[in-house]
């Protein structure tokens, strides 16, 4: 009887030891294969003119975060006033050295909720004359509806690509637009995609 009890205890110990070993093996494998959201692996590093692009977190109005390429600087008020002479004037604009690429954030006074987002985007499309729309969808980011609208449009000198996000903050419309010349899409597509995918709401 005593011998049988020893055998049972030994078996339990062996099974327990095997279970622990398997747990650490799988945990180690998961650690190798998984990566945090919006973190780039070595193979995914984005380069611009052969140099690796780094990004910095920018918090907008304590409400959301975007990862901005460090290639960008904030556009001065004088330059904003020179470029945007009509009624529409973005509240925050980042640009590159050549000032032919822009990322702007605009908090509008228009009322907007998750329920009215589709109608809002459809109405916006009617205001962009001559645009060729390539993406028009609504996705969910942290339980908030976000509209993604991509289009090309011809301006005075070149054709521009616009990658736009619309969403509601405090029941008002917020617009994020990353735009650049279409002939420079190979340089900016990956940077734009990473920046817009980094959208993170903080409230």
Please give the mean pLDDT across all residues of the chain: 82
CA 62/CA 59 separation, integer angstroms: 6
CA 153/CA 130 separation, integer angstroms: 6
Q: What pTM does this model have?
A: 0.76
State the pLDDT confidence band at 39, using cuts at 50, 70 and 90: very low
Mean pLDDT of 104-109: 90
Three-class secondary structure assignment of the chain:
CHHHHHHHHHHHHHHHHHHHHHHHHHHHHHHHHCCCCCCCCHHHCCEECCEECCEEEEEECCCEEEEEECCCEECCHHHHHHHCCCCCCCCEEEECCCCCCEEEEEEEEEECCCCCHHHHHHHHHHHCCCCEEEEEEEEEECCEEEEEEEEEEECCCCEEEEEEEEEEECCEEEEEEEEEEHHHHHHHHHHHHHHHHCCEECC
Q: For position 44, what pLDDT does the model report?
A: 55
Cβ–Cβ under 8 Å, residues 192 and 180: yes
What are the residues whose beta carbons fall under 8 Å from the beta carbon of 26, sequence distance 6 or more? none
Whose structure tokens read 């901005």? 68
Q: For position 5, what pLDDT does the model report?
A: 46
Q: What share of the chain has pLDDT > 70, as a percent?
A: 78
Q: For position 157, what pLDDT does the model report?
A: 85
The answer to whether residue 156 scores a pLDDT higher than 70 is yes
Q: For position 81, what pLDDT does the model report?
A: 87
Q: What share of the chain has pLDDT > 90, as a percent?
A: 61
State the pLDDT confidence band at 87, using cuts at 50, 70 and 90: low
CA 111/CA 170 separation, integer angstroms: 9
Q: Name the more confident of 30 and 197.
A: 197
Q: For position 30, what pLDDT does the model report?
A: 42
State the pLDDT confidence band at 121, using cuts at 50, 70 and 90: very high
Mean pLDDT of 142-151: 96
Whose structure tokens read 């556009």? 75
Cα–Cα separations (whole angstroms), residue 118 to 19, 125, 147:
51, 11, 8
Q: For position 118, what pLDDT does the model report?
A: 97
State the pLDDT confidence band at 109, using cuts at 50, 70 and 90: confident
Whose structure tokens read 């969808």? 137
Residues in the chain, overall count:
203
């Amino acid at each position: 009887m005593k011998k049988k009890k020893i055998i049972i205890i030994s078996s339990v110990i062996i099974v327990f030891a095997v279970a622990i070993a398997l747990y650490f093996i799988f945990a180690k494998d998961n650690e190798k294969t998984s990566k945090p959201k919006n973190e780039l692996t070595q193979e995914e590093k984005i380069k611009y003119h052969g140099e690796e692009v780094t990004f910095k977190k920018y918090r907008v109005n304590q409400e959301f975060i975007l990862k901005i390429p460090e290639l960008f600087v904030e556009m001065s008020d004088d330059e904003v006033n020179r470029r945007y002479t009509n009624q529409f004037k973005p509240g925050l604009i980042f640009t590159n050295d050549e000032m032919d690429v822009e990322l702007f954030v605009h908090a509008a006074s228009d009322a907007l909720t998750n329920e009215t987002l589709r109608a809002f985007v459809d109405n916006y499309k009617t205001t962009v004359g001559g645009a060729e729309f390539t993406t028009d969808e609504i996705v969910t980011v942290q339980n908030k509806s976000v509209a993604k609208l991509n289009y090309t449009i011809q301006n005075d000198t070149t054709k521009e690509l616009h990658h736009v996000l619309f969403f509601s903050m405090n029941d008002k419309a917020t617009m994020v637009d990353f735009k650049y010349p279409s002939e420079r899409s190979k340089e900016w597509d990956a940077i734009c995609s990473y920046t817009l995918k980094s959208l993170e709401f903080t409230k």
